[in-house]
């Protein structure tokens, strides 16, 4: 049971310099423990939370001691509870989260509990980060058209979220069209320091998108979790986490002329990938920090999932305070933030002597060593210096199919596909760009690269360069502020001239919302087997994600996106080959259109103003006419509509009783899918378009939904019937059971039939057979997508045996009651001679008390093979979730049983 906080003696009052007080706070310095001074800043945030929430029940004194003794305890991978200050949900994950809360209320009712206990216990910020289709890209009023289109398609979802904002306490809903969730978080929602009823404490956040880490650039500790974990946090459960190691990343010097923040990010991403930072925090420090704007820091922090870290953290300093002022935070708020963080020794003042902190390991980068680069063609950490791009592209054509290869025969590499585009003769070659998108949360709110892109456009237009009309160009800023400063600088017109019209404020190309290519272009690619390219300023370029027809996808800075759109191909050496012909047939080179650092800095200085941020976010709080006109039902229990194809009551609690079901083993299970390495959550649960021949399409057609109204999987995440059918429906999936064939099919082992994955899973279920999945390394990498765990569970998958798991995805599998197992080092399905045609049994004790986190488990096949795996329940709390059949069931039973 909870008891009084044992640390109440260090609760101090923070006084204002001129009299009065800011509030009360738990003083870390009052503990008089010399170990605290050496702790990384990111670990101090975990420490403060543990002290403030210590009740000897959910958070114990021994947990506080583990964190204080971080230097010695972190290497032992000890478990600690963490209670973040708030939860951030975005639209796609917000809908299923609110669906689950509504479901839980119903379940509480059925089980005789008080359904009104199901309410967020910490502040929940839900941003309707609506996805923007770029089909109306080349028009001046694209934003309005897209907004009307989104409300027309998603009226039901938006209405459901508006109902949720009224039905649940402690939930702020930011209406559609306001910006990308991470940018709204940075510019508006991020508190840095909370003042709740006179109690001061650091802001910290978990969000249902892996790029929640963007907020780390503001000195707010935040990272992505699955929707399942987020819901538990909302309901007052502490997050169970392994106390992380912290990599100290020292920055020196300053960036050279012509080098962008994106070049720095791709360099940092590659360095950290090589160093190995999965499950760790990365904390940046050093004199080079003063050379990085807050937007640059946020860009680096945003890419944490791509380098594999839990966080890429930038402690609060003067640059942070300047940004808070720029974005319209009040002087009183900023004074409170600075005073509190200085009092608790959590503020970095580079004008004072620095105490050398202890880190688990160290990296150093001199910013002067960073050079222009892009990453691709299939992974964000495969960085290519710009000067080597032409040679690297040739290597990709030559190499066997893989992350850096397309295996195009020598005789086909110079192939020219002739086609007609709107009556004009046109040609396509391997490496030709067909999509050029300034998109995604990573770069589209960093003024230096956005204005840099606009300056490239200006120079190109003045020199007479044009973008080929069949290249699909688009600009989707992360925030409405971007539009204001592009207009103030008088540069937006040049982007428009090249086809980079603003299409809206939300996720676009990065998440697969590229829309269709022109039919003539699509036919030229497919009929001639052309390896077409997309260039985007995003953070994800996995194959099949950006667009089904672009096999080569490159990440680069917004100015480079414009440059490659003008060149029309990635098969170019920018140093020696012209980008194109300008006026009078003159050759124009890359150097002719690239702005100087001074030009960019001047544009930022004169065009980015605090009033722009204030005006943008005042408008958010008032909502927009379409949002304000949505009529929603009242009442705290949701009236489910059985005919709805967007919002459906999932079956998670259908047979739930008050007694936990206990752990389950697996008996004679068939392999549903047999995978290699790097299967992403996008392979498991795609967010993009619903393929016309898929089980999900069949389901929608049967319910009278027209093909043009299919929308995306992401937008239908509130309907488990669609999402179960969309599980493993990515058209680029490679399942070893199909012996080289690519696509979302599998073999039903007992009959040898080739079926869609959903149909095979339902056949196994109807026959009473369990299923498992075999996989390689990094299973579940990519976005923290809870449906990548919910979907397999609904398909009847009982266990996943992989070489390794992405952190959030493993946690999500646990939350849905699916057993994660790891092969022993040096072993995998191939080395053990597993074909996927075996039946597999996994023996687990029937009592959770007999299972230990990380214990060895024996797996036996029906053909006599036996091997040992590591059980990847990593904490005692995860075992409790497994005992209850899942995290949501655990929370409901605990709330009903709670006596306090």
Contacts of 859 (CB under 8 A, 6+ apart): 801, 821, 840, 841, 842, 866, 867, 868, 869
Element (H, E) at 264: helix 261-275
| 239-297 residue pLDDT tens | 888 899 999 999 999 999 999 888 998 899 999 999 999 889 999 999 999 999 999 99
Report the CATH fold assignment for 84-242.
Answer: Aconitase; domain 3 (3.30.499)
Q: Tell me how crowded residue 400 is: count the other CB atoms within 10 A of its CB.
A: 8
Element (H, E) at 774: strand 771-774
What is the end-to-end Cα distance of the chain in Å, rounded?
Answer: 8
> Which tokens is 233 given?
């946090």
> Which tokens is 863 given?
């053909």
Confidence (pLDDT) at 134: 61
Long-range CB pairs of 423-426 (<8 Å, 24+ gap) are 424/469, 426/468, 426/470, 426/520, 426/524
> CATH classification of 376-608 is 3.40.50.620, yes or no?
no
Contacts of 64 (CB under 8 A, 6+ apart): 7, 47, 50, 51, 54
Find the mean pLDDT for residues 579-606. 94
How many residues are there in the chain?
900
The answer to whether residue 137 scores a pLDDT higher than 60 is: no
Greatest mean pLDDT among 131-145, 602-616, 695-709:
695-709
Q: Is 377 helix (H, G, I), strand (E, B) or coil?
A: coil
Residue pair 672/757 in contact (Cβ under 8 Å)? The answer is: yes
Question: Would you place residue 131 in the very low, low, confident or very high pLDDT band (cuts 50, 70, 90)?
Answer: low
Confidence (pLDDT) at 576: 96
Q: Please report, for residues 112, 342, 557, 600, 601, the alpha-carbon distance to residue 450 in angstroms, rounded to integers and kept in the order given.
A: 55, 34, 9, 9, 12
| Mean pLDDT taken over the chain | 91
Residue pair 438/474 in contact (Cβ under 8 Å)? The answer is: yes
The answer to whether residue 132 scores a pLDDT higher than 70 is: no
Confidence (pLDDT) at 353: 87
Residue matched to tokens 């738990």: 26
Residue pair 144/725 in contact (Cβ under 8 Å)? The answer is: no
Contacts of 282 (CB under 8 A, 6+ apart): 246, 247, 249, 272, 304, 307, 309, 311, 312, 313
Question: Would you place residue 666 in the very low, low, confident or very high pLDDT band (cuts 50, 70, 90)?
Answer: very high
Residue pair 250/362 in contact (Cβ under 8 Å)? The answer is: yes
Question: Would you place residue 900 in the very low, low, confident or very high pLDDT band (cuts 50, 70, 90)?
Answer: very low
| 619-657 residue pLDDT tens | 777 878 889 999 888 889 999 999 999 999 999 998 899
| 737-780 residue pLDDT tens | 999 899 999 999 999 999 999 999 999 999 999 999 999 999 99
pTM of the entire predicted model: 0.81
Dist. CA 632–CA 612, nearest whole Å: 32
| 806-860 residue pLDDT tens | 877 898 899 999 999 999 999 999 999 999 999 999 999 889 999 998 999 999 9
Confidence (pLDDT) at 473: 93
Find the mean pLDDT for residues 426-445. 85
Report the CATH fold assignment for 666-884.
Answer: Aconitase; domain 4 (3.20.19)
Find the mean pLDDT for residues 37-43. 97
Q: Would residue 18 be called left, alpha or beta, if left means φ above 0 and alpha means ψ between -120 and 50 degrees?
A: alpha
Q: Tell me how crowded residue 253 is: count the other CB atoms within 10 A of its CB.
A: 15
The answer to whether residue 1 scores a pLDDT higher than 60 is: no
Partners of 194 in the β-ladder: 201
Q: Please report, for residues 39, 280, 505, the alpha-carbon distance to residue 283 in angstroms, rounded to integers and kept in the order given.
A: 11, 10, 30
- Tell me the domain boundaries of the chain: 15-82, 84-242, 376-608, 666-884
Of the chain, the percentage scoring pLDDT greater than 90 comes to: 70
| 461-497 residue pLDDT tens | 999 999 999 999 999 888 888 889 999 999 999 999 9
The string of DSSP codes covering 526-595 is HHHT--EEEEESSS---TTTS-TTEEEEEE--HHHHHHHHHH-BSS--TTTS-SEE-GGG-EE-HHHHPP
Q: Tell me how crowded residue 387 is: count the other CB atoms within 10 A of its CB.
A: 14
Confidence (pLDDT) at 899: 52
Find the mean pLDDT for residues 694-719. 93
The answer to whether residue 568 scores a pLDDT higher than 90 is: yes
Of the chain, the percentage scoring pLDDT greater than 70 comes to: 97
Find the mean pLDDT for residues 596-609. 93
The answer to whether residue 701 scores a pLDDT higher than 90 is: yes
Residue pair 307/272 in contact (Cβ under 8 Å)? The answer is: yes
- Strand-pair category, 193-196 with 199-202: antiparallel
The answer to whether residue 139 scores a pLDDT higher than 60 is: no
Dist. CA 854–CA 198, nearest whole Å: 42
Q: Is-cis flag, bond preceding 414, omega within 30?
A: no
Quick check: do 84-242 and 666-884 share a fold? Answer: no
């Amino acid at each position: 049971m909870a008891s009084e906080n044992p640390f109440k003696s260090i609760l101090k009052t923070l006084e204002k310099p001129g009299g009065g007080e800011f509030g009360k706070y738990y003083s870390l310095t009052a503990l008089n423990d010399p170990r605290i001074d050496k702790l990384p800043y990111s670990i101090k945030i975990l420490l403060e939370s543990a002290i403030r929430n210590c009740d000897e029940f959910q958070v114990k004194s021994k947990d506080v001691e583990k964190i204080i003794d971080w230097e010695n305890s972190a290497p032992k991978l000890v478990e600690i509870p963490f209670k973040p200050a708030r939860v951030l949900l975005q639209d796609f994950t917000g809908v299923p989260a609110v669906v689950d809360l509504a479901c839980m209320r119903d379940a509480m009712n059925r089980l005789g509990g008080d359904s009104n206990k199901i309410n967020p216990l910490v502040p929940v910020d839900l941003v309707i980060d609506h996805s923007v289709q770029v089909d109306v890209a080349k028009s001046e009023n694209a934003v309005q058209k897209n907004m009307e289109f989104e409300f027309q398609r998603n009226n039901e979802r938006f209405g459901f979220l508006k109902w949720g904002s009224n039905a649940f306490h402690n939930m702020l809903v930011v209406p559609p069209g306001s910006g990308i969730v991470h940018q709204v978080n940075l510019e508006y929602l991020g508190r840095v320091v909370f003042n709740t009823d006179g109690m001061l404490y650091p802001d910290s956040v978990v969000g249902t998108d892996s790029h929640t880490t963007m907020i780390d650039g503001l000195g707010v500790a935040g990272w992505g979790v699955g929707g399942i974990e987020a819901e538990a946090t909302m309901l007052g459960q502490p997050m169970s986490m392994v106390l992380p190691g912290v990599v100290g990343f020292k920055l020196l010097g300053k960036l050279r002329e012509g080098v962008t923040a994106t070049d720095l990010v791709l360099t940092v991403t590659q360095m950290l990938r090589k160093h190995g930072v999965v499950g760790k925090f990365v904390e940046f420090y050093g004199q080079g920090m003063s050379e990085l704007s807050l937007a640059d820091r946020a860009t680096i922090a945003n890419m944490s999932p791509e380098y594999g870290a839990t966080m890429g953290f930038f402690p609060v300093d003067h640059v942070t305070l300047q940004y808070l002022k720029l974005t319209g935070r009040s002087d009183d708020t900023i004074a409170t933030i600075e005073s509190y963080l200085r009092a608790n020794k959590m503020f970095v003042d580079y004008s004072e002597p620095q105490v050398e902190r202890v880190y688990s390991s160290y990296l150093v980068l001199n910013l002067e060593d960073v050079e222009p680069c892009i990453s691709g063609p299939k992974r964000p950490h495969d960085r290519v210096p710009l000067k080597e791009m032409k040679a690297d592209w040739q290597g990709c054509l030559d190499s066997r199919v893989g992350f850096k290869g397309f295996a195009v025969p020598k005789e086909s590499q110079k192939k020219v596909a002739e086609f007609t585009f709107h009556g004009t003769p046109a040609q396509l070659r391997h490496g030709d760009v067909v999509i050029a998108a300034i998109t995604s949360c990573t770069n589209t709110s960093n003024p230096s690269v956005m204005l840099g892109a606009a300056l490239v456009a200006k120079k190109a237009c003045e020199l007479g360069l044009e973008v080929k009309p069949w290249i699909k160009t688009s600009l989707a800023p992360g925030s409405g502020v971007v539009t204001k400063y592009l207009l103030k600088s008088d540069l937006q017109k040049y982007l428009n001239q090249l086809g980079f019209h603003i299409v809206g404020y939300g996720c676009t190309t990065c998440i697969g919302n590229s829309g269709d290519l022109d039919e003539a272009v699509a036919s030229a690619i497919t009929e001639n087997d052309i390896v077409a390219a997309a260039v985007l300023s995003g953070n994800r370029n996995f194959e099949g994600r950006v667009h089904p027809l672009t096999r080569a996808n490159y990440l680069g800075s917004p100015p480079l996106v414009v440059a490659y759109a003008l060149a029309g191909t990635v098969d170019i050496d920018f140093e020696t080959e012209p980008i194109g012909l300008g006026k009078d047939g003159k050759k124009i080179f890359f150097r002719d259109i690239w702005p100087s650092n001074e030009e960019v800095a001047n544009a930022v200085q004169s065009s980015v103003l605090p009033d722009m941020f204030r005006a943008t976010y005042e408008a958010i709080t008032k909502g927009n006419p379409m949002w304000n006109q949505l009529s929603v039902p009242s009442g705290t229990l949701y009236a489910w509509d059985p005919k709805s194809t967007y919002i459906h009551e999932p079956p998670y609690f259908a047979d739930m009783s008050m007694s936990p079901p206990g752990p389950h083993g697996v008996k004679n299970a068939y392999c549903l899918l047999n995978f290699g390495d790097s299967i992403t959550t996008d392979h498991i649960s795609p967010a993009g378009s619903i393929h016309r021949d898929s089980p999900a399409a069949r389901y929608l057609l049967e319910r009278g939904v027209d093909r043009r109204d299919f929308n995306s999987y992401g937008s239908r995440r509130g309907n488990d019937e669609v999402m179960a059918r969309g599980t493993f429906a990515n058209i680029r999936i490679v399942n070893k059971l199909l012996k080289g064939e690519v696509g979302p099919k599998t073999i039903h082992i007992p009959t040898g039939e080739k079926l869609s994955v959903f149909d095979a899973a339902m056949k196994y279920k109807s026959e009473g057979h369990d299923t498992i999945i075999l996989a390689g390394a990094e299973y579940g990498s990519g976005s923290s997508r809870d449906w990548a765990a919910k979907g397999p569970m609904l398909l009847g998958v009982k266990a996943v045996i992989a070489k390794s798991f992405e952190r959030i995805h493993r946690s999500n599998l646990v939350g849905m009651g699916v057993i994660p197992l790891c092969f022993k080092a040096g072993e995998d399905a191939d080395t053990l001679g597993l074909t996927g045609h075996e039946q597999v049994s996994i023996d687990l004790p029937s009592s959770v008390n007999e299972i230990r986190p990380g214990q060895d488990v024996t797996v036996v096949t029906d053909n006599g093979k036996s091997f040992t795996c590591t059980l990847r329940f990593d904490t005692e709390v995860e075992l409790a979730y497994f005992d209850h059949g899942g995290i949501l069931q655990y929370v409901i039973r605990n709330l009903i049983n709670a006596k306090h």
